[in-house]
Amino acid sequence: MVFCMSLRHSARVAIRRLRTADYSDQARDRLASAVTDAREADGYQSRPAFARAANISLRVLAAVENAEPTVGEKTLRAIGRTLSNWTPDTPRTVLEGGPIPPLPDAPPPREPERTEDEVIAAIRRSAPKAIQDDLIKEYLFRREQYRRDHPDISAAEG
């Protein structure tokens, strides 16, 4: 006796969404290393720049790179879309033990740093008036301090 089972098109099927909590520590560690290596190879040496590019929070990017079991599908797909040689499905593939995409040969050009005028304009647009002047003074002080401490980098910036 053979039973034939088929789902009606109106039947509800529970689809489990991708979550790092559903994978082992080793799988999350593997993903964390792959994401960090690919991010840095893409020229994002700091997390904030990549988080902005991927349109995710810095906190969830840190959670991925620290192999925390708290990351959901939306974040993982955004990371996959943003990294070179990755697709939105690559994080799942990596978590499941599949191949890690090769790193790009050379990092893409970095986005230009904001000019002093752009930073000051952003402070004026977004900071409360009561602290704008203090923020601008602090920014200018730290920028000058950085230029003193890193003359080789400052000269290259022009």
Q: Where are the domains of the chain?
A: 20-95, 116-157
Which band of pLDDT confidence, cut at 50, 70 and 90, is reported for residue 146? confident
* Run of H or E residues at 38: helix 25-41
Q: 22: which 2 tokens?
A: 């559903």
Q: 44: which 2 tokens?
A: 């994002």
Any long-range contacts for 87-92 (C-beta under 8 Å, 24+ apart)? 91/18, 91/31, 91/35, 92/18
Asked if pLDDT for residue 5 goes beyond 80, the answer is no
Question: Contact at 8 Å (CB) between 114 and 122?
Answer: yes
Asked if pLDDT for residue 118 goes beyond 60, the answer is yes
> CA–CA separation, 20 vs 95, rounded Å?
8
Q: Give mean pLDDT, residues 75-79.
A: 95
Question: Contact at 8 Å (CB) between 18 and 31?
Answer: no
- Partners of residue 72 on adjacent β-strands: 19
* Run of H or E residues at 107: none
Which band of pLDDT confidence, cut at 50, 70 and 90, is reported for residue 142? confident
3-class state of residue 19 by DSSP: strand
Segment 30-61, tens digit of pLDDT: 999 999 999 999 888 889 999 999 999 999 99
Q: Which of 29-33, 35-39, 73-77, 115-119 has the lowest mean pLDDT?
A: 115-119
Q: What is the pTM of this model?
A: 0.60
> CA–CA separation, 65 vs 38, rounded Å?
11
pLDDT: is 75 or 12 the higher one? Answer: 75
Pick the CATH number of 20-95 from 1.10.260, 1.10.10, 3.40.1350, 2.60.40: 1.10.260
3-class state of residue 55 by DSSP: coil
